[in-house]
């Protein structure tokens, strides 16, 4: 499909001179962007991307009362940024008020990073990221010190702001890909990832921006960011040595090194999404891609919530949850697409919320595992994708139903130790313990529950006492412990 390109229309030289002379009188022609446009928990920013805008987007020089026409942009991918309370995130980040998960740009992939934010009356700051950083370390927290301001308020024409931040995080060698560690001349005691970030932002223009879906009064902010990312290894007795080049030569650390990038953000004084963000290279001239505000969604219900009863479940036990929409489903209901990234988990491809309802239960079926597996459960409808983490762990002990629980010292209590499911994928060892081994203890210190069997016999013997005692018998399998308290009388 051919695109129709529309250049930026600038005022004539005479008009520009006149405008400059009368700038104070025209000050009310520009908008002021306030902190009311900062995202907060509960917001979903709906964005789309054009990966090859070409000459469709002309950045143009700075100025006032400009007109930018980006209506020729095309939608190559959709992207939703969902902000939730920081307390619901995968980690605790002090000072964070919200965190965001960005839906995958490409279908079939899952979100891999959580970003944690805090907002003040003057700044919207990035405090930390949790997940994979470049291709080095996964399931880790990377804190930015000081926090990196992503947006500022109030924002006006001619504003100039500079900021610096950095990351310094240490790790054991086991956190990194074994192939990278094997490529080092010696095995280090530990490694650290460090990044220095410096940026300068200038509000260099205001005017009207048109995109597919509407026209907006905007301020244009140009941000140039300089980053240097390095990897160090601690090698006794030499101390910390820079191994960035070694990591890159081993095929890792695609984001390591020095980088300069520039992007132009077009902000409106009402919309929380940037109306457009033009990403360029270090030349700050040629648009490489454009992220812009998605056209208004069609009227009707919107997917607002995905919940799971618990973030951890024993393999072979089902995990239930709920998907919720913003308003009752219309006649015929709506179909929500479901997916998960768990080898030991499965769920239906879709679930239908019936007409008139606003929610529907979902269920993840799991199978027994010998080790823990972490993944995500996702629900999608109407361009909105929500995800929740879920861990499937090895099964543990469910209970110790033994009788009698009250007996005279010297007596015997017997019964079984019961697992959460029938043992699998292999036999399950159970270790017994006693809080007062001189009063009561199991005859055998452990037992092996065969595959396909859920219980194993257990016998507790007691010894004579001079006063009533309440010993506790414990049974542990795969780190899951249950107990039974006995009452032993004289």
Q: What is the pLDDT of residues 113-132, one digit of tens each?
A: 889 999 999 999 999 998 76
- Indicate whether 136 pLDDT > 80: no
Which residue did the predictor score with more confidence, 16 or 432?
432
Q: Which residues contact 123 (CB under 8 A, 6 or more apart)?
A: 149, 151, 152, 153
- Rounded to whole angstroms, the Cα distance separating 334 from 350 reads 10
The domain limits of the chain are 13-158+202-222+262-293, 303-393, 397-489
- Indicate whether 107 pLDDT > 60: no
pLDDT, one tens digit per residue, over 457-488 is 999 999 999 999 999 999 999 999 999 999 99
Query: Which neighbouring-strand residues pair with 214?
Result: 211
* Mean pLDDT within 26-34: 74
- Rounded to whole angstroms, the Cα distance separating 217 from 223 reads 19
The pLDDT of residue 9: 42
The pLDDT of residue 490: 94
Q: How confident is the model at residue 140 (pLDDT cuts 50, 70, 90)?
A: confident
Rounded to the nearest angstrom, the gap between the alpha carbon of residue 363 and the centroid of all alpha carbons in its chain is: 22
- The reply to whether domains 303-393 and 397-489 share a CATH topology is yes
Q: Which two tokens stand for residue 407?
A: 């007996």
Q: Which two tokens stand for residue 418?
A: 């019961």
Q: How confident is the model at residue 1 (pLDDT cuts 50, 70, 90)?
A: very low
Q: What does the radius of gyration of the chain's CA atoms come to, in whole angstroms?
A: 30
- Rounded to whole angstroms, the Cα distance separating 144 from 16 reads 42
Place of tokens 């995500």: 376
The pLDDT of residue 134: 55
Sheet of 446-449: strand order equals 446-449, 428-434, 472-477, 480-485
Place of tokens 């090194």: 257
pLDDT, one tens digit per residue, over 216-262 is 999 999 999 999 999 899 988 889 999 888 888 777 666 788 999 99
The pLDDT of residue 178: 80
CA triple 96-97-102, angle to 5 deg: 90
Q: How confident is the model at residue 111 (pLDDT cuts 50, 70, 90)?
A: low
Which residue did the predictor score with more confidence, 111 or 358?
358
The pLDDT of residue 452: 95
Dihedral of CA atoms 215, 217, 221, 222 in degrees, nearest 10, equals 40
Q: How confident is the model at residue 29 (pLDDT cuts 50, 70, 90)?
A: low
- Indicate whether 112 pLDDT > 70: no
Report phi then psi at 344, rounded to 5. Answer: -105, 15
Q: How far is the CA of 1 from the CAs of 58, 100, 431, in angstroms?
A: 19, 35, 68
Q: How far is the CA of 198 from the CAs of 201, 281, 308, 350, 445, in angstroms?
A: 10, 16, 40, 46, 60
> pTM of the full predicted structure?
0.59
Dihedral of CA atoms 185, 254, 261, 276 in degrees, nearest 10, equals -160
Which residue did the predictor score with more confidence, 275 or 112?
275
Q: Give which of 162, 199, 217, 208 is closest to 33, Cα–Cα.
A: 217
* Mean pLDDT within 383-400: 92
Q: Give which of 362, 360, 134 is closest to 251, Cα–Cα.
A: 134
CATH number for the 303-393 domain, one of 2.60.40.10, 3.50.50.60, 3.40.30.160, 3.40.1280.10? Answer: 2.60.40.10
CA triple 102-107-113, angle to 5 deg: 30
**Buried-state track 417-435, b at ≥16 Cβ within 10 A, e below 16:** bbbbbbbbeeebebebbbb
Q: How confident is the model at residue 171 (pLDDT cuts 50, 70, 90)?
A: confident
**Buried-state track 125-156, b at ≥16 Cβ within 10 A, e below 16:** bbbbbbbebeebbeebbbbbeebbbbbbbebe
Q: How confident is the model at residue 3 (pLDDT cuts 50, 70, 90)?
A: very low
Which residue did the predictor score with more confidence, 341 or 384?
341
Q: How confident is the model at residue 10 (pLDDT cuts 50, 70, 90)?
A: very low
pLDDT, one tens digit per residue, over 323-350 is 999 999 999 999 999 999 999 999 999 9
- Indicate whether 6 pLDDT > 50: no
What average pLDDT does the chain have?
88
- Indicate whether 304 pLDDT > 70: yes
Q: Which residues contact 238 (CB under 8 A, 6 or more apart)?
A: none
CATH code of domain 397-489: 2.60.40.10
The pLDDT of residue 415: 94
Q: How far is the CA of 38 from the CAs of 62, 150, 257, 273, 304, in angstroms?
A: 25, 10, 31, 9, 20
Beta strands in 35-188 (DSSP E): 44-50, 63-69, 77-85, 98-102, 113-119, 123-133, 137-152, 160-171
Percentage of residues in the chain having pLDDT higher than 70: 90
The pLDDT of residue 21: 36
pLDDT, one tens digit per residue, over 50-76 is 999 988 899 999 999 999 999 999 988
Query: Which neighbouring-strand residues pair with 361?
Result: 322
Q: Give which of 427, 48, 24 is closest to 212, Cα–Cα.
A: 48
Q: How confident is the model at residue 13 (pLDDT cuts 50, 70, 90)?
A: very low
The pLDDT of residue 35: 96
The pLDDT of residue 19: 46
Residue 428: strand, helix, or coil = strand
């Amino acid at each position: 499909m051919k695109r129709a390109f529309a250049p930026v229309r600038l005022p004539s030289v005479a008009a520009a001179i006149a405008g400059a002379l009368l700038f104070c009188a025209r000050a009310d022609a520009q908008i002021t962007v306030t902190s009311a446009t900062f995202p907060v928990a509960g917001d979903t920013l709906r964005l789309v991307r054009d990966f090859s805008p070409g000459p469709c987007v002309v950045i143009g020089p700075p100025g006032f009362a400009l007109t930018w026409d980006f209506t020729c942009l095309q939608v190559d991918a959709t992207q939703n940024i969902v902000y939730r309370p920081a307390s619901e995130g995968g980690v605790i980040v002090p000072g964070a008020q919200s965190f965001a998960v960005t839906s995958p740009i490409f279908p079939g992939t899952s979100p891999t990073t959580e970003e944690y934010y805090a907002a003040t009356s003057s700044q919207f700051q990035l405090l930390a990221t949790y997940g994979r950083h470049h291709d080095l370390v996964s399931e880790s927290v990377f804190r930015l010190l000081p926090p990196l301001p992503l947006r500022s308020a109030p924002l006006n024409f001619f504003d100039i702001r500079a900021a610096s931040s950095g990351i310094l995080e240490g790790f054991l060698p086991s956190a990194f890909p074994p192939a990278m560690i094997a490529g080092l001349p010696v095995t280090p005691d530990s490694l650290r990832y460090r990044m220095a970030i410096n940026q300068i932002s200038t509000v260099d223009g205001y005017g009207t921006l048109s995109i597919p879906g509407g026209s907006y009064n905007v301020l244009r902010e140009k941000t140039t960011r300089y980053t240097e990312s390095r990897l160090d290894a601690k090698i006794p007795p030499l101390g910390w040595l820079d191994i960035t080049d070694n990591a890159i030569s081993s095929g890792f650390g695609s984001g390591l090194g020095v980088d300069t990038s520039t992007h132009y953000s077009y902000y409106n004084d009402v919309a929380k999404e940037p109306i457009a963000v033009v990403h360029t290279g270090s030349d700050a001239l040629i648009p490489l891609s454009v992220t812009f505000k998605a056209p208004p969604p069609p009227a009707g219900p919107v997917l607002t919530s995905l919940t799971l009863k618990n973030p951890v479940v024993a393999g072979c036990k089902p995990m239930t949850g709920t998907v919720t929409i913003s308003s009752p489903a219309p006649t015929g209901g709506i179909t929500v697409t479901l997916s998960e990234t768990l080898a030991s988990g499965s769920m239906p491809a879709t679930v239908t919320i019936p007409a008139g309802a606003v929610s529907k239960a979902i269920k993840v079926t799991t199978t027994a595992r010998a080790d823990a597996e972490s993944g995500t459960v996702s629900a999608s409808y109407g361009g909105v994708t929500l995800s929740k983490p879920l861990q499937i762990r090895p099964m543990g002990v469910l209970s110790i139903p033994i009788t009698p629980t009250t007996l005279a010292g010297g007596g015997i209590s017997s019964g079984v130790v019961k697992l959460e499911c029938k043992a699998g994928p292999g036999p399950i060892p159970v270790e017994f313990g006693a809080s007062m081994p001189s009063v009561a203890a199991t005859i055998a210190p452990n037992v092996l529950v065969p595959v396909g069997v859920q219980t194993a016999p257990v016998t507790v013997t007691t010894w004579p006492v001079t006063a009533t005692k309440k010993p506790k018998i414990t049974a542990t399998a795969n780190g899951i412990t249950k107990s039974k308290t006995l009452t032993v009388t004289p």
